[in-house]
Amino acid sequence: MTDYKNLILLVIFCIFASAAAIQLFYYLFFYLAVYLKKNGESGRTAQPVSIIICARNEAENLQNFLPSILEQDYPDFEVIVVNDCSDDNSYIILGEFLAKYPHLRISTVNKDPKFTHNKKFAQFIGIKAAKNEILLFTDADCRPESDKWLKTMISHFDEKTSFVLGYGGFNNDKGLLNKYIRYDSFTIALQYLGMAIRMIPYMGVGRNLAYRRSVFFSNKGFGSHNHVVSGDDDLLVNTLATGGNTAVEFSTQAHTRSIPCTEVNKWIIQKKRHLTTAPYYKFRDKLLLTIEPFTRMLFYASFIILLSYTFLWPWVLAVFASRLITQIIVFILNQKKLNEPGLLGYLLFFDIFSPLINSIIYLSNNRSNSGKNKWK
């Protein structure tokens, strides 16, 4: 019986060590690449740009954040705000801005009880109205970190570039929910930026994303995923971006910051909507994105089992420490790179529980079809 138990524990140790090796691969190959990547200065001539913002009942955010976009240090750009069925003061506020900023344009979508639509329709209206080939997207509740945001993001476009992926973080506020939202956004960014650097672009975030208008229309708009509620950003990138036509930009002056949810229920609804796009990713990307959290859960579960039986415990602790030290170093380096302070103290707690949280939300999403007809 003892030999049988030791054999089982040996198998669990092999699973533990294999999971740790896979985890180290993700940290050293993908996530560390974000820190190591250097953004060079570009001497390219400034190209005309259309910034597109879709807004529904965002009067307060437009009042607070739109000036920081309209006042970017760039010679030739227009800002298109799609005022999508708003019933607040958005129209009045936008009218006041129109009188002050001649490069602001407004596209209004009026309510029609016979026609319901999601954000993709508003996005399409904005793209259709754009005069320029280069499009830069953000949200109404976002503010650029500097007046060089536009210049820095667009500097990557040359004849080969169709997509530029930027970093969109959240405001640093009080509370555990705020810390988790920022952690979640930060770790997702390490994935999509790191994979893009390694020539495997799979998504971008609509808070900070640029692409060519011609690429959008050559795909017949949002293409085969037009029926999906979400995916105006990540599914478009997943479908059309390649290692050869995609650039990344994550210098501090090119960041955007958004207002995070302050209520757990609202954040869960938002997260559910985002997760509706996962089944439509390429098989390669679904596999890469599934392996990491799956091996992370195996790593922690097998660690607890092995330690409870004190089986090869010096080796178990050595493997655990190796992964933890690597994780902390990569985390600290990228915190500085992406200007996300104050998260390190929550790292181990969030690292253990985030795969469980995402799994529960994803499974409940499949049962309830949550997110249907949600605009945002």
Q: In this model, does residue 76 exceed pLDDT 90? A: yes
- pLDDT, tens only, 83-101: 998 889 999 999 999 999 9
> How does pLDDT run across 172-182, given as a tens digit for each residue?
999 999 999 99
The DSSP secondary-structure symbol of 145 reads S
* Neighbour-count burial of 283, counting CB atoms closer than 10 A to its CB (0-12 exposed, 13-18 middle, 19+ buried): exposed
- Per the prediction, the chain carries an average pLDDT of 92
Q: 74 with 63: CB under 8 angstroms?
A: no
Instruction: Please give the share of the chain, as a percent, with pLDDT higher than 70.
Output: 95
pLDDT of residue 364: 81
pLDDT of residue 46: 82
In this predicted structure, the answer to whether residue 371 has a pLDDT above a threshold of 60 is: no
Looking at the chain, list the stretches that DSSP marks H as alpha helix, in order from N- to C-terminal side.
2-25, 32-36, 59-70, 90-100, 119-129, 149-154, 176-197, 213-218, 234-240, 264-275, 283-308, 313-338, 347-368
Domain parsing of the chain, residue ranges: 2-35+284-342, 41-280
Average pLDDT (258-273) is 91
**Nearest-angstrom CA–CA distance, 115 and 255:** 36
Task: Work out the average pLDDT over 281-310.
Answer: 96
Mean pLDDT value of segment 358-367: 80
310 sits in the region (left: phi over 0; alpha: psi -120 to 50; else beta) called left
Q: Are 153 and 249 in contact (CB under 8 A)?
A: yes
What is the fold of 41-280? Spore Coat Polysaccharide Biosynthesis Protein SpsA; Chain A (3.90.550)
Q: Please tell me whether the overall predicted TM-score, pTM, comes out greater than 0.85 for this model.
A: yes
Smallest Cα–Cα separation from 39: which of 352, 351, 337?
337
pLDDT in tens, 114-141: 777 788 889 999 999 999 999 999 999 9
pLDDT attached to residue 370: 47
Q: What are phi and psi of 74, to 5 degrees?
A: -155, 140
DSSP assignment of 1-31: -HHHHHHHHHHHHHHHHHHHHHHHHIIIIII
Q: Which two tokens stand for residue 303?
A: 């660690």
Secondary structure, 3-state, 272-317: HHHHCCHHHCCHHHHHHHHHHHHHHHHHHHHHHHHHHCCCCHHHHH
Average pLDDT on 306-317 reads 94
Pick from 256, 286, 353, 327: nearest CA to 30: 327
Q: Are 85 and 341 in contact (CB under 8 A)?
A: no
Residue 10 has pLDDT above 60, yes or no: yes
